[in-house]
Homo-oligomer: A and B are copies of this chain.
Amino acid sequence: MPPSHLIIACQLRRERLLAKLDPHTPAAVFAGPSRGRNYAANTYRYRASSHFLYLVGMGIEGALLYLSDGEAMLFVPPRPDDDDLWHGPSPNREQLSAQLGLSIRPLTDFAKHAQGKRVATVPPFERGDHASVCALLGRPHLQDEALDGPLLDALVALRLPHDEAAIAELKRAALASVQAHRIGFEVTRVGMFERDVCAAMEAALARAGCGTAYGSIVTAHGEVLHNHDHANELRAGDLLLADVGAETDTGYAGDITRTWPVSGRFSTTQRELYALVLEAQRAAIARVNPGTSYRDVHLAASRVIVKGLVDLGILRGQVDALIEDGAQALFFPHGIGHLLGLDVHDMEDLGDRAGYAPGRTRSEQFGLSYLRLDRELAPGMLVTIEPGFYQVPSLLQNPGRVGLSDKALDRNVLAKFADVRGIRIEDDVLVTETGHEVLTGALPKAVNDLEALVGVTASL
């Protein structure tokens, strides 16, 4: 069962959602089914829809939260007769109702309740689920912006600023993530494999009662941005990039990246580029304040990186012109970060509805096109700040892909930095009324002192 502060928060969230919805249009929010791996009964660990978790506080496989006539009720599927044998005792409907503060009905009664009504819903992100949802809701299809749009907008408006209960859970996720990174840093040794460090970090999360919020990236090849393989041996000159985050048992995510030298000491070139990425991160975090455009946070970090690369002689040209051309994307091809909450990319199941303010769309420019968030920051929003530097062979072979002429790049200088394949530094930053709070930095024994441990801070 979820903690009581979360149960109470969910009641308030449901009330606030009901107040935002048209009373004549009922809404259904599905928990979603479990998924088989290789056959139906051998399931992945169940993970309910984040919208359902937001409103109910816990996942209940196959359940449906129904909001109608100013009231919320939960429809739950029947348990098989022998469920007690395989899964143990579970609360009956009355007990569950008392625990969640929700009226509970059998799912088999749902058709009766919804009969003749046009029911708005959050369309499942898996297309394969659409047919069963349509059948249950009596809807011909799930492409109906007029019907569903107001529900989705209301959910986005509610979920963008985190409430106190959410922040408490997000701090738990941050703490567990920090401890995993601390352990990953401590166990790393030359001759280990990436999987050894990953196993130690994920075990730390498991001991904290958490899972992983996303596929862990623990790699000596950080230039592959979403590298989920862990088969490489760690050599003395390698940097290890670890992007690992906890998911609490209540569904909230942490998201931290650190990059450390396998040997425990940076080379001079590694230190120079690490210091540059760290400077970019600090510049970006300093701009996380209410009212700031997140796109400007991205551009602030980009400016530091471009200026630094010009100073190092890797890029050639005027800083302003290079930024205008998107030169940063040659070495920093992704966005500065994203929303964080119940999803590691919060509400990405809704496309850009949460990430992009109404009327805004993705840039066509390579690099900026990957920016997942383009909104003015507001108190309660949690974002990641994660600049990086990568040498991606396929980009460097063709700078034109980034819109850059070959002469803007000094390959002779770059060749000296061959021992840096990928560096990323990522923290989770909460927008407060007066500025920001780094959730992954204010914790005891944080890995933020990594910089001190490996001698970067002194060089800044």
CA A41 – CA B43 in complex, angstroms?
19
Residues of B within 8 A of A35 (CB): 35, 44, 126
Name the CB-closest residue of B to A249.
Answer: B231
Contact across chains for A199 and B209 when beta carbons are under 8 A apart: no
CA A39 – CA B213 in complex, angstroms?
12
Determine whether A459 belongs to the interface, using a CB cutoff of 8 Å to chain B: no
CA A225 – CA B206 in complex, angstroms?
21
Contact across chains for A207 and B196 when beta carbons are under 8 A apart: yes
Q: How many copies of this chain are found per oligomer?
A: 2
Contact across chains for B86 and A224 when beta carbons are under 8 A apart: yes
Give the interface segment out of A127-135, A267-275, A412-420, A442-450: A127-135
Residues of B within 8 A of A193 (CB): 207
Determine whether A9 belongs to the interface, using a CB cutoff of 8 Å to chain B: no
CA A88 – CA B220 in complex, angstroms?
13
CA A216 – CA B40 in complex, angstroms?
17
Contact across chains for A206 and B215 when beta carbons are under 8 A apart: no
Determine whether A259 belongs to the interface, using a CB cutoff of 8 Å to chain B: no
Are A43 and B215 also in contact (CB < 8 A) when A86-B224, A200-B203, A342-B38 are? Answer: yes
CA A447 – CA B231 in complex, angstroms?
27
Residues of B within 8 A of A221 (CB): 88
Determine whether A250 belongs to the interface, using a CB cutoff of 8 Å to chain B: no
CA A308 – CA B439 in complex, angstroms?
58
Determine whether A214 belongs to the interface, using a CB cutoff of 8 Å to chain B: yes
Give the interface segment out of A12-20, A150-158, A389-397: A389-397
Determine whether A348 belongs to the interface, using a CB cutoff of 8 Å to chain B: yes
Distance (whole angstroms) from the CB of A395 to the closest CB of chain B = 7
Determine whether A345 belongs to the interface, using a CB cutoff of 8 Å to chain B: yes
Determine whether A358 belongs to the interface, using a CB cutoff of 8 Å to chain B: no
Determine whether A282 belongs to the interface, using a CB cutoff of 8 Å to chain B: no
Contact across chains for B125 and A36 when beta carbons are under 8 A apart: yes
CA A87 – CA B223 in complex, angstroms?
9
**How extensive is the interface on chain A, given as a class?**
35 or more
Determine whether A349 belongs to the interface, using a CB cutoff of 8 Å to chain B: yes
Distance (whole angstroms) from the CB of A446 to the closest CB of chain B = 22
Give the interface segment out of A45-53, A68-76, A94-102, A373-381: A45-53
Determine whether A306 belongs to the interface, using a CB cutoff of 8 Å to chain B: no
Name the CB-closest residue of B to A86.
Answer: B226
Contact across chains for B349 and A126 when beta carbons are under 8 A apart: no
Contact across chains for B214 and A206 when beta carbons are under 8 A apart: no
Across the interface, A88 reaches (CB within 8 A) one of B86, B227, B231, namely B227
Name the CB-closest residue of B to A195.
Answer: B206
Residues of B within 8 A of A225 (CB): 85-86
The interface bits of chain A over 179-214 (1 if a CB of B lies within 8 angstroms of the residue's CB, else 0) are 000000000000001011011101110110100001
Name the CB-closest residue of B to A132.
Answer: B128
CA A126 – CA B50 in complex, angstroms?
22
Residues of B within 8 A of A203 (CB): 199-200, 202-203
Across the interface, A126 reaches (CB within 8 A) one of B128, B215, B393, namely B128
CA A226 – CA B195 in complex, angstroms?
28
Residues of B within 8 A of A343 (CB): 38-39, 42
Name the CB-closest residue of B to A205.
Answer: B199
Name the CB-closest residue of B to A343.
Answer: B38
Contact across chains for A394 and B199 when beta carbons are under 8 A apart: no
Determine whether A113 belongs to the interface, using a CB cutoff of 8 Å to chain B: no
Determine whether A24 belongs to the interface, using a CB cutoff of 8 Å to chain B: no
CA A221 – CA B223 in complex, angstroms?
45
Contact across chains for A394 and B85 when beta carbons are under 8 A apart: yes
CA A202 – CA B221 in complex, angstroms?
24
Determine whether A425 belongs to the interface, using a CB cutoff of 8 Å to chain B: no
B-facing residues in A125-151 (Cβ within 8 Å): 125-129, 131-132
What are 11 A-to-B residue pairs whose CB atoms are below 8 Å? A39-B348, A39-B349, A40-B125, A42-B348, A84-B392, A86-B226, A128-B131, A196-B207, A199-B206, A203-B203, A209-B231
A-B complex: 10 closest residue pairs judged by Cβ atoms: A128-B128, A88-B224, A199-B206, A39-B349, A199-B203, A203-B203, A39-B348, A84-B394, A86-B226, A44-B44
Known contacts A35-B126, A38-B50, A88-B227; 15 additional CB pairs below 8 A are A35-B35, A39-B348, A40-B349, A41-B348, A45-B228, A87-B224, A87-B227, A128-B131, A131-B131, A199-B202, A199-B206, A200-B203, A202-B202, A202-B206, A203-B203
